[in-house]
């Protein structure tokens, strides 16, 4: 309002250069926190009292560690997707007088060490089957750095030829195995990305930049939301089967997650819902059990590494090769 009481022009909108950065860090910190609460809620089967029991017994450190273990893959996927598209949009909008798309700004302000760290974590935690897609993303994200390397054309050609030959040697048996098994999607995931990596760098046609940003940015968000559903459903506590002695003499198996144990009781959140307080004196045995989500979808291996293992997981299996599953885990309870 002016002194004279007449409406004046609206104040200019502040264009804080850190605004996009604040948005990024809000998402980076806020999303895990929201995820953690959502996971506890789902884990409790939607029951308020059970949720409160979980909140009271699952420490924030444990919760964050469990979240890191199970959600690293999703978080790095999100970051890699955002930065890959952002890099393509940034290259395509270089020198634009107007405001660049959001992902391009996030990419532009991310230091190379951060990008490298995201890709390193993704390399270690992504399923081996999806690592070829990481190659495409890496070429897109680091195209500025690659362009700065002043190699003659023949040297680029020779390097790419050697890299493709090595890759072919690495995955040829797996591709053959997948082809024979009729797993065409797996074949596509292994074969197509390296070809796409050759063409993914560089600017988009000018007329395509704005539609691409308008479609791809929300598109990535939607796909990440779909991919987040299994992560939200993943339990926070390990699955166990507890054998409880009964007065009838026939032992009873209780399948569920141990919430807490004190001097008197063990509190178990049952798989099918409901909380059981079991007298410690009645507990005969307890075993750790896998869940059906851990069963594999593919029967393919890349040089003896299962394609659904991460590099980190596959290396871990070399340290502890046996993964005995107790027979009790198969009993329906």
Partner 1 sequence: MTETSGRPRWRPLLTATAVTLTMLLAGAAACGPKGNAPKTVDDLFKKTDVYGQPKIKIGVAEDQPLMGQIVNGRFEGFDIEIARYLAESLGFKGDSRIEWVPLQTEDRENALVSGQVHLVVASYSMTPDREKEIDFAGPYFATKQELLIRTTDRDKIRNLNDLAQPGRETCVVGGSTGERQFTDRALKVYPAATNRECLERLLSGKSHAYSTDETILAGYLSEHPKDLFIVDVPIGANERLGVGVSKQDPELRDLVAFFLRKSYDTGRTTSTSPWLAAYRRTLGPWLGDDTTQPPIDAPDLVDYDEKAPKP
Binding residues among 130-169 for partner 1 as defined by CB under 8 A: 130, 133, 136-137, 140, 143-144, 146-147, 149, 156
Q: Strand runs (DSSP E) across the chain, as ranges? A: 239-244, 252-261, 265-270, 275-279, 283-288, 301-302, 305-306
The DSSP code sequence of 294-327 is: GS-S---EETTEETTSBHHHHHHHHHS------G
Smallest separation (angstroms) from partner 1 to the CB of 196: 5
Cβ closest to partner 1, residue 219 vs residue 273: 219
The dihedral through the CA atoms of 299, 302, 305, 310 has a sign that is negative
Q: Name the minimum Å distance from CB 263 to partner 1.
A: 29
The mark string for 82-111 relative to partner 1 (x by CB under 8 A, - otherwise) is --xx--x--x--------------------
Q: Quick check: 248 binds partner 1 (CB under 8 A)?
A: no
Answer for which of 102, 196, 283, 311 binds partner 1 (CB under 8 A) is: 196
* 185 touching partner 1, by CB under 8 A: yes
* Residue 250 near partner 1 by CB under 8 A: yes
Q: Is 303 left (phi over 0), alpha (psi -120 to 50) or beta?
A: left
Which residues within the stretch 211-230 sit at the binding site for partner 1 (CB under 8 A)?
Answer: 212, 216, 219-220, 223-224, 226-227
Least distance between partner 1 and beta carbon 23 (Å) = 22
132: left (phi over 0), alpha (psi -120 to 50) or beta: alpha
Q: Is 258 helix (H, G, I), strand (E, B) or coil?
A: strand
Handedness of CA 84, 85, 87, 91 (dihedral sign): positive
Tell me how far apart the alpha carbons of residues 80 and 322 are, in angstroms, rounded to a whole number: 33
Over the window 43 to 82, marking each residue x when it contacts partner 1 by CB under 8 A and - when it does not, the resulting string is ----------------------------------x---x-
In whole angstroms, the minimum distance from the beta carbon of 22 to partner 1 comes to 27
Give the containing element (helix H, strand E) for 22.
Answer: helix 19-43
Output 34 or 296, the one with its CB closest to partner 1. 296
In terms of CB distance, is 12 or 205 closer to partner 1? 205
Residues within window 14-33 making contact with partner 1, judged by CB under 8 A: none
> 44-53: string of b/e by CB count within 10 Å (b at 16+)?
beeeeebbeb
Which CB sits closer to partner 1, 12 or 332? 332
Distance (Å, whole) CA 267 – CA 282? 13
**Per CB under 8 A, 125 contacts partner 1:** no
What is the Cα–Cα distance from 131 to 156, expressed in whole angstroms? 22
Residues in 285-324 at the binding interface with partner 1, rule: CB under 8 A: 290, 292, 294-297, 299, 301, 304, 306, 308-309, 313-314, 317-318, 321-324
Which residues, 6 or more positions from 234, have their beta carbon under 8 angstroms from its beta carbon?
39, 70, 293
Q: How far is the CB of 60 from partner 1 (least distance, A)?
A: 29
CA distance 127 to 311: 7
Least Å distance, CB 63 to partner 1, is 25
Shortest distance (Å) from residue 285 CB to partner 1: 10
């Amino acid at each position: 309002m002016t002194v004279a009481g007449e409406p004046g022009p609206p104040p200019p909108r502040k264009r804080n250069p850190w605004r996009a950065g604040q948005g990024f860090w809000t998402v980076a910190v806020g999303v895990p926190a929201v995820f953690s609460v959502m996971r506890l809620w789902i884990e409790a089967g939607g029951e308020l009292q059970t949720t409160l029991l979980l909140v009271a017994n699952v420490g924030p450190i444990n919760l964050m560690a469990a979240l890191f273990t199970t959600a690293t893959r999703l978080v790095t996927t999100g970051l890699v997707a955002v930065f890959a598209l952002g890099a393509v949009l940034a290259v395509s909008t270089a020198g634009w007088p107007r405001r660049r798309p959001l992902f391009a700004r996030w990419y532009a302000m991310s230091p190379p060490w951060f990008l490298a760290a995201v890709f390193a974590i993704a390399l270690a935690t992504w399923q081996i089957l999806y690592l070829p897609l990481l190659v495409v993303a890496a070429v897109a994200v680091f195209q500025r750095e690659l362009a700065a390397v002043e190699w003659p054309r023949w040297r680029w050609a020779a390097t790419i030829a050697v890299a493709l030959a090595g890759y072919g040697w690495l995955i040829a048996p797996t591709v053959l195995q997948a082809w024979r098994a009729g797993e065409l999607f797996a074949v596509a995931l292994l074969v197509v990305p390296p070809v796409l990596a050759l063409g993914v760098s560089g600017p988009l046609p000018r007329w395509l930049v704005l539609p691409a940003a308008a479609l791809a940015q929300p598109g990535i968000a939607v796909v990440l939301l779909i991919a987040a559903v299994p992560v939200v459903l993943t339990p926070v506590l390990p699955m166990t089967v507890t054998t409880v002695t009964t007065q009838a003499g026939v032992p009873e198996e209780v399948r569920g997650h141990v919430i807490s144990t004190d001097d008197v009781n063990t509190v178990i959140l049952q798989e099918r819902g409901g909380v059981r307080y079991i007298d410690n004196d009645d507990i005969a045995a307890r075993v750790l059990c896998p869940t059906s989500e851990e069963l594999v979808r593919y029967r393919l291996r890349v040089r003896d590494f299962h394609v659904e293992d991460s590099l980190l997981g596959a290396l871990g299996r070399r340290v502890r090769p046996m993964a005995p599953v107790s027979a009790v885990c198969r009993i329906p309870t």
